[in-house]
Amino acid sequence: ELTPMAIAAGRRLADRLYGSSSIDGNLRGSGETANTVATKVSYETVPTVVFSHPPIGTCGLSEPEAIAKYGQDNIKIYKSTFANMLYGIFDVEADDKPKTMMKLITAGSEELVVGIHILGMGADEMLQGFGVAMKMGATKADLDSCIAIHPTAAEELVTMGAWGLSPQVSGAKVSPLNGAKGPEPTTSMNSKM
């Protein structure tokens, strides 16, 4: 994860030194300083993967870190261990098939997702997308509201635990819960140029 983090930090440094970035991105590179903010890279919830066989990936807090930060009574842990469906066609006993393990850590009454940990094939690809969701404040209910893609290992993260029992609280700017319409852009990109 060194190269992507170095690139992200370098881009933010270049913005601060040689360009400007506004809160809404409209003044980027224009040299204007009104309504600008210094851009800095966030070192929180950075998806990280060890490219072993199978790969191991993590994003956010570990279970001990979550307990230390929020307290045992304020976190909820969801776990799953299964044979990846890729191995379904092989004539091997189920117990002998490579396993995928997943852990989802939530905190607070709204069950904010504060940690996702995956050991198994595709952990690297899955964490890239779930890392975005975590940066945007995803809750367990947000994951539950996502329709699973079948057959994939990633579907386990959006079907984990008893469905629908999480508090129906969304971390999204526009809530996807209860069949709500998705977000729409506020203005056209051409009108800002």
Catalytic residues: 150
Say which residue the tokens 């290992």 belong to. 153
User: Is residue 56 within 8 Å of 127, Cβ to Cβ?
Assistant: no
Q: Report the length, in residues, of the chain.
A: 193
- φ, ψ dihedrals at 70, nearest 5°: -110, -15
Sequence letter at residue 186? T
User: Is residue 106 within 8 Å of 76, Cβ to Cβ?
Assistant: yes
Instruction: Provide the 8-state DSSP code for 19.
Output: -
Say which residue the tokens 């230390």 belong to. 68
